[in-house]
Structure 1
Amino acid sequence: MFDVFVNPVFFIANILAGILLIWNKKKIKNLFVFLFFTLIVVYILSSLLAIDEKSLTYLRFGILFSFYSIVTYEIIRQVWQSKKVNRGVIFGLMSGYISLGLVGFFICMSVEILEPGSFSGLVSQKLNIEGNGDDLMYFSFITLLTIGYGDILPVSQLARNAAVVIGLLGQFYLVIVTAVVVEKYIRHSSRLD
């Protein structure tokens, strides 16, 4: 039920929130429009030229990876540059952390595409974005949160390096970005007293 109904709604809501976030930034908006039209052109050409589904999936994956990387950067930048802490900044802080987890997923999936079998413990050992997606999403967030249950393991050197990067991103975000927001809140609250 979650995969069929809830997950697609969250995914669409996340993409729409990302679009709204970057819409007022002219350079980023132009890049987004370019990525969007590239995706449309590729889908049209694929139906005319009979491009295989695997290539389309990888192209869609690359465009989404670019999109989420841009959105994550923009969320963190806006939270960092906020003058005072309000509800929007708090939601931005949470959204930034979730977006980092999604970027971590794209990093893990890229590793698995480049070196199939880089992770042990995946339910589907066959390389496909749909089959390994849930497992690698889970691995990304477990690593970002530094929980590390050990049910999925990075076995190649590239996968290990990716896991270290994802873990460091999570810690840097929590320690630095969250600390800056807390400091701004304390400073703003003390002015009100």
Structure 2
Amino acid sequence: MNIPKILHKRKYEFLLAALLIHLFIAVLLYDLDFYTNIIWPLNMLILGIFSLGIFSEKSRMQLIFKNILLALIIFLPISIIYLKPTPLMMELINIAHIAFYCYIFIEVLRYLLKPSYINSDIVSASACGYLLLIEIGIFSMQAIYYGTTNPFKGIDTTSFTTIYLDIVYFCSITVTSIGFGDIVPSNHYAKLATSILGIAGQFYSVVLVGIMISKYTSETGNSSKK
């Protein structure tokens, strides 16, 4: 079995599954310490492996950069298990995650703009882009949380894990425009970042619909000429 070939052929399906697991696996878990110490590093390792297919045809420098970011997002969170998490350490973790997810997000967008047809890869890549936008929002909000004073009201501050999970929830309902109001931004950094995230979510959805319609129109047009 050629695993690299399988990862490349089904790269967007695998990436979508890894993102869903990373964002929402905690809904199946009761022990948050187990989630932090075991599941989180395992999630990041799975996400790194399942993102290999997207970078399989990239240059050596791009692969090196991606692997450096992957190493950072795996080993920096593990260090929290053995060291007291300081604001500086949390900011480094957030910056590394933002860079990693932005890097993948850009590659997904490039792919969405290329083909003139719709297939399962396009649908999976579209969903990946949406979840990657949420991931970028999560670690951007965490950077604001640890870098400013009183950025949010309603977040469970029991541990950095509960903070993270509440921010996952907050970013998910912001991007989807649900906005229950149980967690709200309370300083201007958080308010503006939340506004940008909400606008980005709507913009992505609108542009994605336009891309899909364009691809479908192009595909049906080409079929009618044959």
When normalised by structure 2's length, the TM-score is 0.70
Change (3 A) 1:57 1:23: farther
Partner in structure 2 of residue 142 of structure 1? 173
Q: Does 1:105 align with 2:147?
A: no
Identity %: 21
2:201 maps to a residue whose letter is G
SS at match of 2:51: helix
1:144 maps to a residue whose letter is V
1:7-44 Cα distance to aligned partner (Å, 9 max, x none):
7576554333323212322242121133345678989x
Per the TM alignment, residue 62 of structure 1 is displaced from its structure 2 partner at its CA by: 2.6
Q: Does 1:182 align with 2:213?
A: yes
Q: Does 1:70 align with 2:103?
A: yes
**Unmatched runs of 5 consecutive residues or more in structure 1:** none
Aligned residues: 185
Partner in structure 1 of residue 115 of structure 2? 82
Partner in structure 1 of residue 9 of structure 2? none
SS at match of 1:92: helix
CA distance in 2, matches of 1:111, 1:179: 33
Partner in structure 2 of residue 33 of structure 1? 67
CA contact (8 A) 1:79 1:181 kept: no
CA distance in 1, matches of 2:73, 2:181: 37
CA contact (8 A) 1:119 1:156 kept: yes
Provide the aligned C-alpha RMSD in A.
2.9
2:209 maps to a residue whose letter is T
**Unmatched runs of 5 consecutive residues or more in structure 2:** 1-26
1:119 maps to a residue whose letter is F
Partner in structure 2 of residue 18 of structure 1? 51
1:2 maps to a residue whose letter is L
Per the TM alignment, residue 81 of structure 1 is displaced from its structure 2 partner at its CA by: 1.9
Per the TM alignment, residue 51 of structure 1 is displaced from its structure 2 partner at its CA by: 6.8
SS at match of 2:135: helix
2:103 maps to a residue whose letter is I
Change (3 A) 1:40 1:192: closer
Change (3 A) 1:37 1:87: closer
Partner in structure 2 of residue 154 of structure 1? 185
2:216 maps to a residue whose letter is Y
Partner in structure 2 of residue 2 of structure 1? 28
Change (3 A) 1:177 1:187: same
Partner in structure 1 of residue 163 of structure 2? 132
Q: Does 1:169 align with 2:205?
A: no
When normalised by structure 1's length, the TM-score is 0.81
